[in-house]
Chain A
């Protein structure tokens, strides 16, 4: 791949040689598009190149609608002022939905977790996005998380239960315990998600930690 700032003189020199010059200069729109797509999660340069090539073959059907959608999303999507979800309106569709149970707040680490829970269709209450978990490594303390807005929502009244749907990691557990200490004195019930055997999971392939957690959380059937 040609480096940015490749001198034109060298490019011209290449033209007289046996091998062809690199097909695209850095300012080339195609190369730029590949580079930009390659920065996205799940994409490397190779897959970005494939996607760009596919779009270029059908610009009217694939590329221009995508460009419009990107521009529209960049301009319209904002974080919800209540829960921190990303939506085209603030308050978001979930917070604005009158059918949602406002006695329940589900606390999640990020918007991806909120979307996952919505896909599961298990929670009919509202959400609160923390924006991370306590982590010495990432320099995340309680001040860096959206804990104060959560406290303010509970102080405003009407909340009966806060469900902590945080990752099953040491940092996630530390955040859960911190929130529990902070919220329980406010008179709300604080619960956490169960941990254990996943659906369709065989015991012999589970890691010891998950098995131990499942064993501790056994229940009457």
Chain B
């Protein structure tokens, strides 16, 4: 058994003295792990950093085996992100969530494409990548079966102005539909419904709060796990950005 595919490195666990067990995200094979001989060595450590785009090759005698992974660097996203605190936090957050939340060897083609697009945007402009990271979390929820329904109001059926999401059902709610329960609903920033809508740090922070509730409850909470620390640090950094913007 063997395959070759473009992949995003999600995590690399040290194995033995110089080896590593690496998880990558591919289009066809989903999150796939493999043993990398010398993966933690000086020569290879830079390749297996989370967020890097690589051309991966997996070989195993049987499909159910861990197998051996090798790869060639296509885009050094990790090294490029390291100088920027926000970019580092974003990349760490997405990789930690994907590594922990995605089931192994289950194809999530749309999420893979969104991840590659996110990494490409991150290389151009970090601030452009932040709203994409929130949309990426929405996509992850959708791919795992916990997608939010933001098409119409769950109460009135209105499809135009939808400022809230119900934390219980995950469906959008209009101003009229919110009624007395407004305080219990989660704010829905407009950029999550309309890609062309302008957005700023306050909207991104609201978006992360929204996705965070469902990630914590449905994806991680359902398995008695906490949210990855990297995701919390990313949300904190965006909140700081929002509060700095509010102070200007």
- Listed in ascending order, the chain A residues whose CB lies under 8 Å from chain B are 41-42, 134, 136-137, 141, 168-171, 173-174, 177-178, 180-181, 195, 207-210, 212-213, 216
Q: A137-B13, A170-B92, A174-B233 are in contact. Are A209 and B78 (CB under 8 A)?
A: yes
A selection of 12 A-B contacts at a CB cut-off of 8 Å is: A137-B96, A168-B79, A168-B82, A170-B49, A170-B50, A170-B78, A170-B82, A174-B92, A207-B79, A209-B73, A212-B80, A216-B83
Chain B hits for A42, CB < 8 A: 17
Q: What residues make up the interface of B, taking CB atoms closer than 8 Å to A? A: 11, 13, 17, 45-47, 49-52, 73, 75-76, 78-83, 85, 88-89, 91-92, 95-96, 99-100, 228-230, 233
Q: Which of B51, B75, B100, B229 contacts A170 (CB 8 A)?
A: B51
CB neighbours (8 Å) of B99 from chain A are 136-137
Question: What is the CB-to-nearest-CB distance from A129 to chain B, in angstroms, rounded to a whole number?
Answer: 19
Q: Are B46 and A174 in contact (CB under 8 A)?
A: no
Task: Say yes or no: A209 contacts B76, CB within 8 Å.
Answer: yes
Enumerate chain A residues within 8 angstroms of B82, measured Cβ to Cβ: 168, 170, 173, 195, 213
A137, B11: Cβ atoms closer than 8 Å: yes
7 other contacts beyond A169-B45, A170-B78, A213-B82, with CB at 8 A cut-off?
Answer: A136-B92, A137-B13, A170-B82, A173-B83, A180-B85, A181-B85, A209-B46
A residues in contact with B230, CB < 8 Å? 134, 136, 174
Contacts of B78 in A (CB 8 A): 169-170, 209
Is there an interface contact between A209 and B79, defined as CB atoms closer than 8 Å? yes
CB pair A170–B46 under 8 Å, yes or no, is: no
What chain A residues lie within 8 Å of B233 (beta carbons)? Answer: 134, 174, 178
CB neighbours of A134 from chain B (8 A): 229-230, 233
